[in-house]
């Protein structure tokens, strides 16, 4: 059972006017088999949390710890974190010109597994993963995310999630910008991943809409760089009804 533990995480970014504090003491434990939703208004630091866990160089961890099964994640390079079992589905997936999806997926799979996948089963797996996300097989020959629509980019993230099959998946607003069909397709992918039983999911979202398809075990309301309130699925229902108003007032003090 994988466990991702985030303790008292403080993160800042460098700006022209010096460092700016964004995360102010985040505590979160995601055990295998659990799905956690993080909900919060724009600018509350959700992506910062996701990127900091993945190791984006822009974010400076000023204090706190992140461990995966007891291993110090913060001490690892970005690729080591991925090989340790972390996966980040990005809010804005990056285009990589000239690198085909097929080449990218095979290179990533080889890096994660430490050996090249068996050719015969791999081609089948890729085609199935694409088909499951309602993507044409010829996406394999396209360049990574280049010329993809917003929805295709998000579905491509979930294709990678299913093929790389990490221990813990962090999904940063994978639902944003999706129409209802795409939202359902993406949610089914996440649910297939979670259904394996021992996987952790950290679902970051701005809207409650995706929670009709993916049932979280825990909901955390994220305001001003920390978890303002936690609860079960009923917390999401409250947010659905009343929005973030109550938390923003509290956050503003």
Partner 1 sequence: MSSSDTLVATGNRAHSHGPGSPVPLQARSERPTSYDVADFAVPNGREEEWRFTPVKQLKALFEDAAGTETPKVDASGPEGVVFETVAADSLKVGKPQDRAAAVAWNHAGDAFAVRIPVEAELTEPVHVNVASLGARGFSHLIIESGRHSKAIVIIDHSGSGELGSNVEIVVGDGADLRVVSIQQGDHESIHLGQHDALVGRDARLHHVAVTLGGKVVRIGTNVRYAGPGGDAELLGVYFAESGQHHENRLFVDHEAANCKSNVLYKGALAGDHARSVWIGDVLIRAAAEGTDTFELNRNLVLTDGARADSVPNLEIETGEIEGAGHASATGRFDDEQLFYLQARGIPEDAARRLVVSGFFNDIIGKIGVPEVTEHLHEVIEDKLARTAELSESAKAVIGQ
Ligand X SMILES: Nc1ncnc2c1ncn2[C@@H]1O[C@H](COP(=O)(O)OP(=O)(O)O)[C@@H](O)[C@H]1O
Tell me: does residue 15 bind ligand X (CB under 6 A). yes
In this structure, what are the phi and psi dihedrals at residue 90, rounded to the nearest 5 degrees? Answer: -85, 150
With CB under 8 A as the contact rule, which of the stretches 15-23, 72-80, 120-128, 213-221 interacts with partner 1?
72-80
Both structure tokens of 251: 């956050």
Can you tell me which of 4, 6, 22, 182 binds ligand X, judged by CB under 6 A?
22
> Quick check: 35 binds Mg ion (CB under 5 A)?
no
189 binds, among ligand X, Mg ion, partner 1, none (CB under 5 to 8 A by kind): none
- CB of 213: closest distance to ligand X in angstroms? 21
CB nearer partner 1, residue 78 or residue 137: 78
User: 158-187 mask for partner 1 (x: CB under 8 A)?
Assistant: --x---x-----------------------
Pairing assessment for the beta strands 86-89 and 168-172 based on DSSP bridges: parallel
| Phi/psi at 192 (5° precision) | -60, -45
Least CB distance from residue 228 to ligand X, whole Å? Answer: 13
45 contacts ligand X (rule: CB under 6 A) = yes
Site string for ligand X, 200-229 (x = CB under 6 A): ------------------------------
Tokens of 81: 């974190």
Tokens for 91? 């809010």
Residues that bind partner 1 (CB under 8 A): 54-57, 77-79, 81-83, 87-88, 90, 93-99, 103-104, 107-108, 111-112, 143, 160, 164
């Amino acid at each position: 059972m994988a466990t991702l533990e985030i303790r008292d995480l403080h993160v800042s970014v460098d700006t022209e006017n010096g460092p700016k504090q964004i995360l102010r003491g985040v505590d979160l434990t995601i055990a295998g088999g659990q799905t956690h939703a993080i909900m919060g208004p724009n600018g509350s630091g959700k992506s910062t949390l996701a990127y900091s866990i993945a190791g984006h160089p822009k974010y400076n961890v000023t204090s706190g710890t992140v461990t995966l099964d007891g291993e110090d994640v913060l001490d690892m390079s970005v690729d080591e974190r991925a090989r340790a079992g972390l996966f980040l589905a990005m809010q804005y997936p990056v285009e990589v010109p000239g690198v085909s999806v097929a080449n990218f997926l095979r290179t990533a799979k080889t890096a994660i597994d430490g050996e090249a996948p068996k050719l015969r089963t791999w081609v089948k797996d890729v085609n199935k993963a694409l088909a499951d996300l309602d993507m044409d097989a010829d996406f394999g020959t396209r360049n990574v995310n280049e010329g993809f629509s917003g929805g295709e980019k998000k579905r491509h993230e979930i294709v990678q999630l299913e093929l790389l099959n990490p221990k813990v998946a962090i999904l940063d607003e994978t639902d944003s910008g999706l129409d209802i069909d795409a939202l359902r397709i993406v949610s089914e992918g996440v649910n297939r991943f979670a259904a394996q039983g021992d996987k952790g999911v950290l679902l970051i979202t701005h809207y409650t809409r995706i929670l009709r398809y993916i049932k979280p075990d825990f909901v955390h309301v994220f305001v001003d760089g920390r978890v303002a309130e936690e609860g079960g699925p009923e917390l999401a229902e409250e947010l659905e009804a009343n929005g973030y108003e109550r938390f923003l007032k509290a956050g503003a003090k």
